[in-house]
Structure 1
Amino acid sequence: MNKQSTIDDFELVQVPDEAKRSWHVISLIWLAIGIDISGLFLGAFLSSGLSINDALFATFMGSLILAVLAMLCANIGFQSGVSTPLMSSSVFGRNGGKILGAINGISLIGWFAFQADFFAYILVDAFAKYNLIMPHIIALIGGGILMMITAIYGVRALGKLSTFSVPLMITLITIGLIMAANSQSDSEHIITSPLSMGEAISYVISIWILAAVAAPDIARYAKTRKDAILGAGFGFLFGNSATIVVALLLTQLTGSDNLVDVFFSLGLGIAAIIVLVFAQWTTNSSNLVSGGLGMSVVLPKIPRPALVAAMTVIGLGIAQFGMIDLFTAFLTLLGVTIAPSAGVYLAQYYFLDKAALAYERIQTAPAWMFKGLFSWAFGSAISACTAGEFFNLFSITSISAIDGILASFVAYYLLTKLTASDKENQHAY
């Protein structure tokens, strides 16, 4: 029984009070997820397109937008106490929630594969600098097992890992920044691929917007509403921006955008490897945690740990056999599809009937709720029309995922109000 309770992530029920945590633990989880290698590379990319001041502004503005969205979603997660796909049953119906869970789960298998492969390549290169040969498949499987074990134990394991890893990573990165400042390069910062401010903010938001709309997965563990909101806000504002800012500063100080090389050149090779391992460990474990929650809604009779293990094996297979490039366009499509779902439950909670997202109502949701499904589909279509990777027909905010969220929000609000007016008119006659 003790073993079962340890690995129980409460995927189909409310999180009990004894398992809940305060805001600083929630924040550490988001900080750990936010400190990842892709953020470092995004910072280097922004540095090539903007001045340092403009790049910093874009980073903090994008992170602020993400933080606000995450706080709004986290507040709903605290209210319901359940995972995002299960919570969404209140606006899409039980089967609609399963659709979202399946899309989310498949998407996160792909992102797990991408991040695991990325981790393996960088780890192999890092060890090669010490003339140590590590086969790619060993790095891939070893990293995948670390990530899988944490994900099997769920959000609480992420919290324990984050409590240890975040202070360590921040300390090592700070040391790297101080040493880089002391050996500052005289090279002039050159903009090679100019970016507009809108494009830069869009890139910053895009990297973590799916995590923001899935904030209820973590926020359901908050002790109080304040803990849920503060944890998400602090975690996204600083977690999302931290690694991007570090990359910007290191690039500015050293003139190099290869940040692993920068750390090795400063004599911090071991630190670079430690940061790499912990950064990808926490981030990719969170992909498996959220993916497992989504698939548990789809396949409730299969134990969540078994689903996490299966997702890991599939993801490692995708990475090892070079299918990631074929999967990328599909992942982008799924991203365009997932984000607009948030617009529906944001409209329901903040402008229509928040009681609909209470756990008791979620349990009695009908099989299908077509107003929510239509609004979600409409938002996804708008997102695809404004996305540069797809149709690129027009632009609303310059951020296609935000466009989709706004579109689904407005569509659901109007449909709900119009159908309510029709019912009132019928009763009047």
Structure 2
Amino acid sequence: MEKQENTQSWQSLAFVWAGAMICVPSLMIGGTLVSGMSFMQTLLVGFIGYGVIVLLMILQGMQGADLHKPTVSMASQVFGKVGSQKVISIILMIACLGWFGIQANVCGQAFTTFLATYNIDFPVQLSSLLWGIIMLVSALYGIKFLNILNYVAVPILIATCIYGVVVSIGDSQTTSIFSYQGSGSVDVMSGLAITIGSFALGAVIAGDYSQYSASRKDVIKAATLGILPSGVLMIAVGAILTITAGTADIAQVFMSIGSPILGVVALILATWTTNAVNAFSGGLALIHVFDIPKEKEKLAVGISGGIGTILAVVGILNYFVPIMSVLSAMVPAVAGVMIASYWIVQKGDAARWSPVEGMNWLGIISWLIGAIIAGIPVILSFFPSLPQLPNQPLIGIVLSFISYLIGNRLFVKQEKQQMKSELGE
């Protein structure tokens, strides 16, 4: 009886994933990619990037369905109970703070651009500060209201996108879109890093949502049909709007759709509702990272949103590509370690899984090896005078995967042999 109550259909999980993809950042990725490559390359890179995400989600999600546990609990085997909380929480905190800043910055730019159409000069920094504070206050006191607002915001965003595409295609030849060639400033590997980085966190924490799935097949269907169609569609929409608007600036794109009021309302609502969740989740992650007492939850949420607002004011949106690249280096490496442990060492057998007390340094060091080495090209990109390395978005997950398997063979085997010899004595 309990299993029935806790079981969710693959269709409902697919809708959750599809809903996560229908957002402003997905449009921004389409615009960013197509500004530097052709329209057809943009679609291909989007498909491959989200294909990698789906593969990670399936492996992580099936583990969640097998164990019926959320990601932090699943990771307690490979990172240790304390280590899993710290590692997952650090990544959540960084991602949420970054996304809060980006979304508040997008909202601020949209509002400034909107006012400029009426010859009102309102600095982007001040606009980003204003909306960052509004979003933060909403996160502190209006979660229930924002949940209702979310049901309004998503349909408005979808309707605006459909309207924008219809108007755009009506104003230009369809062939000009398909034959569009970008500036060549974004190569395939950088494009994959941007795409994978945009939803890498969702892939790692897939177990949080699939822990009530009835079977592994349901996880596969939900991830594939929930992510790929909606993700590639949103990239295509973002690309088409960018091509026809002649700019990758998402605020300018929406202002040029034909109805500035509709554009600014859609962007503000969509970023507002998402950012309340970013501030709240960032605050909870902050609590776990720094062991802040639970009763100070509102203070943690306030600090999280405050840092995000500062990032918006300093123009974090200008670093959208590097941030996505950093996330594509750090986050998949977590999945690399977890996949190596569950699917290779434990052979995908839930009966072999067991949590480890404290810190499991083998898992943590394996993650750091993948994350740091994958992050080096991104860090070097901030310093053009230094020698540059090509960005390989999947190197982190591969290195962490291999590091864990080698470490497990060397150290865990030695420990077992030592225990046997001690018992023999």
Is the structural similarity TM-score above 0.5?
yes
Which structure 2 residues correspond to residues 202-213 of structure 1 after superposition, within 5 A?
202-213=193-204
Q: Does 1:414 align with 2:406?
A: yes
Distance across 1 between alignment mates of 2:171 and 2:269: 26
Aligned with 1:361 (options 344, 354, 366): 354
Counterpart of 1:417, as a letter, is R
User: 1:425: how far off?
Assistant: 5.4
By how many angstroms is 1:43 displaced? Answer: 2.1
2:335 corresponds to: 342
| Alignment partner of 1:310 is 2:298 | no
CA distance in 1, matches of 2:203, 2:234: 17
Quick one: structure 1 residues 300 and 153, their matched pair in 2 at CA, closer, same or farther if it must change by over 3 Å?
Answer: farther
Correspondence for 2:187: 196
List runs of 5+ in structure 1 lacking aligned partners.
1-14
Q: 1:67 to 1:392 in 2, by over 3 A?
A: farther
5 Å matches for 1:55-66?
55-66=42-53
Provide the C-alpha distance between the structure 2 equivalents of 1:130 and 1:51, rounded to a whole number of angstroms: 35
Please state how far the C-alpha of 1:344 moved relative to its aligned partner.
1.0
Alignment-derived partner of residue 33 in structure 2: 46
1:180 aligns with 2:174: no
1:309 alignment partner AA: V
Q: Which amino acid aligns with 1:36?
A: C
Structure 1 contact 95–368 (Cα < 8 Å) conserved: yes
Cα-to-partner distance string for 1:16-55 (whole Å, 9 max, x where unaligned): 9757644344333333332333333332232232222222
Q: Tell me, in whole angstroms, the C-alpha distance in 1 between the residues paired with 2:270 and 2:352.
A: 34
Q: Give CA-to-partner distance per residue, 1:142-171, whole Å, 9 cap, x none.
A: 233445567x579xx86x776665444333
Q: How many residues of Structure 1 are paired with residues of Structure 2 in the alignment?
A: 406
Q: How far is 1:249 from its partner?
A: 1.8
1:32-79 superposed Cα distances (whole Å, 9 cap, x missing partner) = 332333333332232232222222211212121112112222222333
- Deviation of residue 81 (structure 1)? 4.0
Query: Residue 89 of structure 1 aligns to a residue in which SS?
Result: coil
Question: Would you say the 8 A contact 2:54–2:224 is kept in 1?
Answer: yes
Query: What TM-score, normalized by structure 2, do the two folds share?
Result: 0.77
Deviation at 1:407, TM superposition (A): 0.8
1:71 aligns with 2:58: yes
Name the structure 1 match of 2:86.
Answer: 99
In structure 2, relative to structure 1, the CA distance for the partners of 1:389 and 1:211 (3 Å cut) is: farther
CA distance in 1, matches of 2:215, 2:141: 28
- Say which SS state the counterpart of residue 267 (structure 1) adopts: coil
1:6 paired residue number: none
2:222 is aligned to 231
1:269-288 to 2 correspondence within 5 Å?
269-288=260-279
8 Å CA contact retained: 2:150, 2:273: yes
AA aligned to 1:109 is L
2:20 to 30, 33, 57: 33
User: Is the partner of 1:92 in helix, strand or coil?
Assistant: coil
Q: 1:35 to 1:178 in 2, by over 3 A?
A: same
Between the aligned partners of 1:274 and 1:92, the Cα distance in structure 2 is: 43
> For 1:208-223, what aligned pairs fall within 5 Å after superposition?
208-220=199-211, 222=213
Q: What's 1:374 paired with?
A: 365
Structure 1 residues 138 and 28: CA distance shift in structure 2, 3 A = farther
2:135 partner letter:
G
Structure 2, unaligned runs of 5 or more: none
Q: Report the AA paired with residue 204 of structure 1.
A: T
C-alpha change, 1:191 and 1:332, in structure 2 (3 Å) is closer
Over aligned residues, Cα RMSD in angstroms? 4.1
Conservation of the 8 A alpha-carbon contact between 2:85 and 2:288: yes
TM-score, normalised relative to structure 1 = 0.77
- Structure 1 378/360 Cα, relative in aligned 2: closer, same or farther at 3 Å? closer
Letter in 1 for 2:110: I
Instruction: Report Cα offsets for 1:302-356 as digits up to 9, x if no partner.
Output: 1595366334443355246638599998997676444312211111111122689
Query: Residue 36 of structure 2 aligns to a residue in which SS?
Result: coil
CA contact (8 A) 2:35 2:182 kept: yes
